[in-house]
């Protein structure tokens, strides 16, 4: 079948002649698969016992092995003649018809029609996961808990600023892990029937992949939005409309990118255990190189730092980055493949401005927020570069996932 319209398999015109070619005559018309099933299961109710082939089998003992061998030999002979006939037909067919068959242009439904049908089926199958009460309770519960822990947080001092930055990095970790593990198991779970449907050419794999991604994206966007609406006002982030939507867009962009990464791991491995293990290892690597635990501290102060650091700032530098501050040169490339690194920087730029004053109670007066040691490696101006990088990563992950899925599904046995 080359369409999504499933044809009825059962009593078909001319099916009786097919059984006669197999040297068996059923008492009533039925499909070849049903007749073979009945014969090989030692149930002869569907076979005409007056046929010469049945009497010859009885003379040989009529064992099940004999029946199976006879059916196999007869079917092989018929298949040989059918393939030979098809080859002769293709050889005498016009050139444009041969190209149409070769390029599989015999689809009776357009991509749009396949998209509509597959979208309805995918959403109907996964609706229970999308509208899961536990996922909603998790999103609301974690948001309320974080809001109570960071209730009305401020950035008046370095310690308060660092606490709020820690909350933002935890938000990045939470939704990265939720989206990554939510997408990594999709293709391994659907591998069994996906292989069968693709072998039958029921639909294009590209249409299926687009439908799967877009339907899953609904849940990946809905729950983070509810989460951010709760946590944003409880933690007392900057209460301006541009900052709120910039922060929400940053989180959603991280979620969409991590969803693509999860689809890539699931499509490349197609094993539940191995895909989960690979996703956990990559997630740990992205967390360490996200820019909170491990940073590349420049050898000289940035040009926008107006005065040298005090002893208190140096102490905070030590406690803020307890693992390491100096990444070896041969390991610094890891941060450029970590979407959490760019996502966390985008969240910082969406929330803070380098010209904001803080620590106004110090002996030297107010300081610029950009001069904080927490932003030694982050320029709070801009943010367009991180947006384009995350969009490119999200697109690249999905393209690689599609090619990996097509290769694995084509090579998988039925």
Q: Is the pLDDT of residue 9 over 60?
A: no
- Predicted confidence at residue 17, as pLDDT, reads 47
More confident: 367 or 2: 367
Q: Is the pLDDT of residue 101 over 70?
A: no
Query: How much is the mean pLDDT over the chain?
Result: 75
- Predicted confidence at residue 311, as pLDDT, reads 41
Q: How many CB atoms lie within 10 A of CB 259?
A: 28
User: What average pLDDT does range 122-137 have in this prediction?
Assistant: 89
Tens digit of pLDDT for each residue in 269-278? 988 899 889 9
The phi, psi pair for 47, rounded to 5°, reads -105, 140
Residue 293 CA to residue 282 CA, distance in Å, equals 16
Encode the chain in three state secondary structure: CCCCCCCCCCCCCCHHHHHHHCCCCECCCCCHHHHHHHHHCCCCCCECCCCHHHHHHHHCCCCHHHHHHHHHHHHHHHHHHHHHHHHHHHHHCCHHHHHHHHCCCCCCCCHHHHHHHHHHHHHHHHHHHHCCHHHHHHHHHHHHHHHHHCCCCCCCCHHHHHHHHHHHHHHHHHHHHHHHHHHHCHHHHCHHHHHHHHHCCCCCHHHHHHHHHHHHHHHHHHHHHHHHHHHHHHCCCCCCHHHHHHHHHHHHHHHHHHHHHHHHHHHHHCCHHHHHHHHHHHHHHHHHCCCCCECCCCCCCCCCCCCCCCHHHHHHHHHHCCCECCCCHHHHHHHHHCHHHHHHHHHHHHHCCCCCEECCCCCCCCEEHHHCHHHCCCCCCCCHHHHHHHHHHHHHHHHHHHHHHHHHHHHCCC
pLDDT tier for residue 148 given thresholds of 50, 70 and 90: very high
Q: Is the pLDDT of residue 174 over 50?
A: yes
% the chain with pLDDT above 90: 36
% the chain with pLDDT above 70: 65
Residue 123 CA to residue 400 CA, distance in Å, equals 24
Residue 232 CA to residue 248 CA, distance in Å, equals 9
Q: Is the pLDDT of residue 255 over 90?
A: yes
Residue 212 CA to residue 121 CA, distance in Å, equals 10
Tens digit of pLDDT for each residue in 348-397? 999 998 888 877 776 777 888 888 888 877 888 888 999 999 999 999 99
DSSP β-bridge partners for residue 357? 368
Residue 227 CA to residue 39 CA, distance in Å, equals 60
Q: Per mean pLDDT, which range of 108-112, 141-145, 160-164, 344-348 is the poorest?
A: 108-112
Q: Per mean pLDDT, which range of 5-9, 114-118, 197-201 is the poorest?
A: 5-9
More confident: 213 or 291: 213
Burial (CB count <10 Å: 0-12, 13-18, 19+), residue 60: exposed
Q: Is the pLDDT of residue 294 over 80?
A: no
- Predicted confidence at residue 70, as pLDDT, reads 62
pLDDT tier for residue 181 given thresholds of 50, 70 and 90: very high
- Predicted confidence at residue 88, as pLDDT, reads 44
- Predicted confidence at residue 78, as pLDDT, reads 55
User: What average pLDDT does range 390-413 have in this prediction?
Assistant: 91
Which segment, 10-14, 42-46, 276-280, 295-299, is predicted with the most confidence on average?
A: 276-280
User: What average pLDDT does range 197-210 have in this prediction?
Assistant: 87
Parse the chain into domains and list their residue ranges: 15-102, 111-411
More confident: 241 or 51: 241
- Predicted confidence at residue 226, as pLDDT, reads 95
* pTM, entire model: 0.69
Which segment, 114-118, 129-133, 372-376, is predicted with the most confidence on average?
A: 114-118
Q: Is the pLDDT of residue 227 over 70?
A: yes
pLDDT tier for residue 296 given thresholds of 50, 70 and 90: low
Q: Is the pLDDT of residue 258 over 60?
A: yes
Encode 122-178 in three state secondary structure: HHHHHHHHHCCHHHHHHHHHHHHHHHHHCCCCCCCCHHHHHHHHHHHHHHHHHHHHH
Q: Which among 261, 225, 209 has a CA at the least distance from the CA of 390? A: 261
Instruction: Find all residues with CB under 8 Å of 100, minimum gap 6, and list them.
Output: 106
The phi, psi pair for 149, rounded to 5°, reads -70, -35
Q: Which among 27, 319, 390, 395 has a CA at the least distance from the CA of 158? A: 319
């Amino acid at each position: 079948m080359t369409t999504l319209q499933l044809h009825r398999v059962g009593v078909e015109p001319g099916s009786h002649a097919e059984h006669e070619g197999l040297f068996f005559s059923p008492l009533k018309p039925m499909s070849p698969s049903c007749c073979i099933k009945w014969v090989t299961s030692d149930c002869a109710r569907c076979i005409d016992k007056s046929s010469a082939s049945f009497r010859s089998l009885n003379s040989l003992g009529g064992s099940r092995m004999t029946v199976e061998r006879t059916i196999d030999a007869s079917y092989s002979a018929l298949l040989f003649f059918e393939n030979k006939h098809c080859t002769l037909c293709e050889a005498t067919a016009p050139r444009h018809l041969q190209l149409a068959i070769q390029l599989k242009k015999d689809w009776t439904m357009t991509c749009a029609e396949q998209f509509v049908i597959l979208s309805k089926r995918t959403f109907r199958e996964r609706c229970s996961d999308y509208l899961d009460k536990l996922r909603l309770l998790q999103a609301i519960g974690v948001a309320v808990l974080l809001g109570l822990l960071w209730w009305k947080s401020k950035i008046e001092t370095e310690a308060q600023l660092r606490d709020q930055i820690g909350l933002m990095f935890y938000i990045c970790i939470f939704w990265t892990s939720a989206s990554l593990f939510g997408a990594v198991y999709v293709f391994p779970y659907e591998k069994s029937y996906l292989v069968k449907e693709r072998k039958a050419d029921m639909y294009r794999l590209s249409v299926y992949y687009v439908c799967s991604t877009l339907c899953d994206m609904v849940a990946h966007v809905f729950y983070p939005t509810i989460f951010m609406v709760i946590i944003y006002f409880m933690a007392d982030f900057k209460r301006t409309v541009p900052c709120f939507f910039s922060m929400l867009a940053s989180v959603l962009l991280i979620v969409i990118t991590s969803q693509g990464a999860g689809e890539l791991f699931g499509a490349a491995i197609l094993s539940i255990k191995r895909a989960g293990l690979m996703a956990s290892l990559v997630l740990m690597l992205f967390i360490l190189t996200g820019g909170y635990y491990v940073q590349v501290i420049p050898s000289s102060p940035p040009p926008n730092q107006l005065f040298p650091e005090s002893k208190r700032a140096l102490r905070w530098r030590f406690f803020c980055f307890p693992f390491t501050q100096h990444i070896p040169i041969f390991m610094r490339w890891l941060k450029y493949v970590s979407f959490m690194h760019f996502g966390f920087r985008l969240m910082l730029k969406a929330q803070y401005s380098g010209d904001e004053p803080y620590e106004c109670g110090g002996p030297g007066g107010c300081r610029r927020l950009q001069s904080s040691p927490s932003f030694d490696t982050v320029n709070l101006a801009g943010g367009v570069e991180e947006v384009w990088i995350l969009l490119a990563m999200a697109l690249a992950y999905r393209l690689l996932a599609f090619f990996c899925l097509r290769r694995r599904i084509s090579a998988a046995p039925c």
